[in-house]
C-alpha cells in the first residue's frame, strides 16, 4: 500500500483559528507535523489558543489579523512566511453569520458577512497563489457550509456568502489545478460550536469541530494523483 503524502514540516495558515472549527483544524494539522500560523481578530483569544497547542509540542505562531482588510492580509502572509516559511496549505475558515429575514437585515450585515465569508477568501487566495504557482503545488481549503446548497428562512445573506464561496472555490480550482494546486471546499452541516444556535438539539449527535478537521486532514494527505474537490459532512443521526 502506498504511503500517504506527509505534511511533516509543511507550513499551514488557518484563519478563524482561535476556537471552534479553526482551532480543531490547526490542532489536527500540527498533530500531522505541520508548522501552523493561527490567525484570528482577537489577540488575547489567539494567544491562549496558541499557548494550548504549544503545550502539546506543536510548532505554531499566532498572528492577529482582520482578513476583511487587504493590508492585514498582506501583513499576515508576510509574517507567516518570515516566521515559518512559504505557505503550502491555506485553510480559509474565518466566517460569521447574522440570521434575519431579508427585509429586516441591514446593509451593514451584508457588508460584514460578505467581506468575511467571501471577499477574505478571494484576497487570501490571491495572496498565496503566486507562491504556490512558483513552487508547483499547494492546498487551498475553504470551509463552507451545506447552507451553500440549501435555503432556509432568515439565511439570505449567510447563504448568499456560502453559495458564492462554493462558486469561487470551484472556479479557483479550475484556474489553479494546472499549476499543481488543489482548491477544495469542505461543507459541514451544523457543528456543535458557539457559532450556530443549538436550541432543542442534542449536541452529542451534532457534528463536532474534529469532524471538519478530519475532512481537512483527508484532503491534505490524499494521493498526489487525486483531487478531492468537495466534501459534504452530515451527522450520522439528526440531532
| 149, 190 Cβ separation under 8 angstroms | no
Spatial distance between the Cα atoms of 184 and 166, rounded to a whole number of angstroms: 9
Q: Is 182 a catalytic residue?
A: no
192 three-class SS = coil
Rounded Cα distance, 142 and 94, in Å: 9
Number of helical (H) and strand (E) elements in the chain, helices listed first: 7, 7
Cα–Cα distance for residue pair 29/86, rounded to 1 Å: 16
User: What span, in angstroms and rounded, lies between the C-alpha atoms of 185 and 173?
Assistant: 10
Residues counted in the chain: 239
Radius of gyration of the CA atoms of the chain, in A? 17
Annotated catalytic residue: which of 46, 95, 97, 158?
158
Burial status of residue 155 (CB atoms within 10 A of its CB: 0-12, 13-18, 19 or more): buried
User: Would you please indicate which residues are annotated as catalytic (active-site) residues?
Assistant: 158
Amino acid at each position: 500500500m502506498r504511503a500517504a503524502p506527509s505534511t511533516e514540516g509543511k507550513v499551514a495558515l488557518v484563519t478563524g483559528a482561535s476556537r471552534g472549527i479553526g482551532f480543531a483544524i490547526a490542532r489536527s494539522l500540527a498533530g500531522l507535523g505541520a508548522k501552523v500560523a493561527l490567525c484570528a481578530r482577537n489577540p488575547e483569544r489567539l494567544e491562549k489558543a496558541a499557548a494550548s497547542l504549544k503545550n502539546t509540542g506543536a510548532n505554531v505562531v499566532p498572528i492577529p489579523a482582520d482578513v476583511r482588510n487587504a493590508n492585514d492580509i498582506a501583513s499576515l502572509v508576510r509574517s507567516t512566511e518570515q516566521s515559518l516559511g512559504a505557505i503550502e496549505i491555506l485553510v480559509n475558515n474565518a466566517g460569521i453569520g447574522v440570521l434575519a429575514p431579508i427585509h429586516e437585515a441591514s446593509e451593514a450585515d451584508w457588508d460584514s458577512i460578505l467581506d468575511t465569508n467571501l471577499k477574505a477568501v478571494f484576497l487570501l487566495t490571491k495572496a498565496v497563489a503566486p507562491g504556490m504557482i512558483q513552487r508547483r503545488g499547494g492546498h487551498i481549503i475553504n470551509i463552507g457550509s451545506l447552507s451553500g446548497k440549501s435555503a432556509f428562512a432568515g439565511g439570505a445573506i449567510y447563504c448568499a456568502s456560502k453559495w458564492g464561496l462554493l462558486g469561487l472555490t470551484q472556479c479557483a480550482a479550475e484556474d489553479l489545478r494546472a499549476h499543481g494546486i488543489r482548491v477544495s471546499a469542505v461543507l459541514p452541516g451544523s457543528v456543535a460550536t458557539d457559532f450556530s444556535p443549538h436550541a432543542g438539539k442534542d449536541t452529542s449527535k451534532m457534528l463536532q469541530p474534529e469532524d471538519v478537521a478530519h475532512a481537512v486532514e483527508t484532503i491534505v494527505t490524499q494521493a498526489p494523483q487525486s483531487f478531492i474537490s468537495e466534501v459534504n459532512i452530515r451527522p450520522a443521526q439528526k440531532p
